[in-house]
Amino acid sequence: MTSTSTATQRTSSQVGPSWLVLVLACACQFMVILDVSIVNVALPSVQRELGFTATGLAWVVNGYVLTFAGFMLLGGRAVDLFGPRPMLVAGLFLFSASSLVGGLATAPEILVGARVAQGVGAAMLAPATLAVINTYFTEPQARARAFGAWSASGGVGGMAGALAGGTITTGLSWRWVFLINVPIGAVLIVLAMMSLVGTRASRRESLDLIGAVTGTAGLAALIYGVMQSADHGWTSVRVLGPAVAGLLLLVVFTVVEARFATHPMVPLRLFTIRTVAVSNGMLLLFGGIAIAMWYFTSLFMQNALGYSALEAGLGQTPAAVTFVVIARYAANLLPRTGVRPLVLTGSACFLAGFGWLARAHTGSDYVTGVLGPTLLIAVGIGLTFPTLMAAATADVPESDVGIIGGLANTASQIGGSVALAVLATAASAKAGTDAAHAGSPAALAAGYNLVFLMAAGIGLAVAIVSLLLPKHRHD
């Protein structure tokens, strides 16, 4: 826990008002998550203009996701070593500069390289925003509200991607999907310089280079292997090769951190904190919940119900608004109820919502087939996600808030990547069971129904694991 003297020092050293600091953290998180999905709608235009192959086009998305998740732990430890403001400013600069390069790209290789650099910038930003919240909001109620707003901003960013991408691509050009980040990034850099103090790290340590290399390479290889499963199958050498190599590197990373590193990148002692260990495990599971809700529900509306991409985005808007409202409500409840009651209630919403959604079919209407269950699931996400993020970063020494933020974000991203591959494979296999009707809306709906049932199972797993959390706030 942070000492009173340290907390006082942090509060007095803050330059800007707390609301300005929170706006900065939320805006950065919104931009980072927005760029995961905003390019999806623009991909056909990108392919036509730059001459991407079908395989190469996927790397406009994968290049960002891979480096974002793979470099998160390194970004988190860098925040601890150099302070939140320097890493936030550096991450914003890299993100904005690579967005400029991407928006002006004249060849596929340039755009993919820019997306890779964007992912590295995002991996610096995401843990830095969590460190800012942990550093500048020390009172439990204020910190809980800040986590609620931060979580809501990420959720809105993910949902706004499809609508913003379609609007910008149609009204301007796909290039503005990237170029819009440049002025926004410049404003946020100025805001960071104004509102955050230029703190130095509380301790001077060298970076754990072996841990950084093995941990980052291991995560990147594992995620890369999982990404290949949709095209090549789980038994392909293109999947097993990098996945196994990634797991081996992560084993080496764990051994190095436990026995050889003087200043480990991820201090394993942090996992002796019960809320940290359990919450990060639950965030792995939560990644599957989020993918099933936002990604597969959108596909269900388009491929089974015949909605356009814009209609599907609008169809998910009520759920996104519900998520934002409930996340703020959960933030107010958390200091009084503790983590477990909110997570159990959220898990019950997952079970009921996905169970309901699994009954939808090609003849379902929007209100009873989509709106009702997605609102219920959104309530569960709003109760659960900010609660887990707050729990995962609670009771952590100030010197480790960056790496804990990176660890929590990494858990969620890896969980989502693995769940996407597993659920997509299950949906495809189920949809192809009846060869005579394979690819029909009814067959695709059957595949999505299976995904929603599996997501309900993940919700049950979240509930079971939550029993390991403290029952009350002070347990």
pLDDT tens for residues 214-239?
Answer: 888 888 888 888 877 767 778 888 88
Arithmetic mean of pLDDT, 167-192: 86
Residue 332's pLDDT band, with cuts at 50, 70 and 90, is confident
Residue 352's pLDDT band, with cuts at 50, 70 and 90, is very high
Q: What is the DSSP letter of 40?
A: T
Residue 270's pLDDT band, with cuts at 50, 70 and 90, is confident
Closest among 201, 185, 170, 203 to 41, alpha carbons compared: 170
Between CA 275 and CA 466 the distance in angstroms is: 10
| Cβ–Cβ under 8 Å, residues 29 and 157 | yes
Between CA 330 and CA 353 the distance in angstroms is: 19
**What are the residues whose beta carbons fall under 8 Å from the beta carbon of 48, sequence distance 6 or more?**
none
Between CA 43 and CA 169 the distance in angstroms is: 10
Return the minimum-mean-pLDDT range out of 110-124, 129-143, 161-175: 161-175
Closest among 20, 1, 408, 394 to 197, alpha carbons compared: 20
pLDDT in the model for residue 291: 77
pLDDT in the model for residue 418: 81
Arithmetic mean of pLDDT, 23-39: 82
**pLDDT exceeds cutoff 90 at 101:** yes
Residue 475's pLDDT band, with cuts at 50, 70 and 90, is very low
pLDDT in the model for residue 187: 92
Between CA 349 and CA 355 the distance in angstroms is: 10
Evaluated on CA atoms 75, 148, 318, 353, the torsion sign reads positive
**pLDDT exceeds cutoff 50 at 10:** no
Residue 223 is encoded by which pair of tokens? 């995620």
pLDDT in the model for residue 435: 52
Per the prediction, the chain carries an average pLDDT of: 81
Could you read off the pLDDT of 181-203 as tens digits, one per residue?
Answer: 899 999 999 988 888 875 544 45
Q: How many CB atoms lie within 10 A of CB 51?
A: 10
Q: Which CATH superfamily is domain 270-475 in?
A: MFS general substrate transporter like domains (1.20.1250.20)
Cα angle 281-283-286, degrees, rounded to a multiple of 5: 120
What is the CATH architecture of 11-202?
Up-down Bundle (1.20)
Arithmetic mean of pLDDT, 203-214: 72
Phi, psi of 240 (to 5 degrees): -65, -35
| Cβ–Cβ under 8 Å, residues 218 and 249 | yes
Higher pLDDT, 265 or 448: 448
Residue 16's pLDDT band, with cuts at 50, 70 and 90, is low
**pLDDT exceeds cutoff 60 at 473:** no
Arithmetic mean of pLDDT, 16-45: 79
Q: How far lies 396's CA from each of 135, 270, 277, in Å?
A: 11, 8, 12
Arithmetic mean of pLDDT, 46-54: 81
Arithmetic mean of pLDDT, 72-77: 83
Q: What is the DSSP letter of 32?
A: H
Residues in the chain: 475
pLDDT in the model for residue 61: 77
Residue 334's pLDDT band, with cuts at 50, 70 and 90, is confident
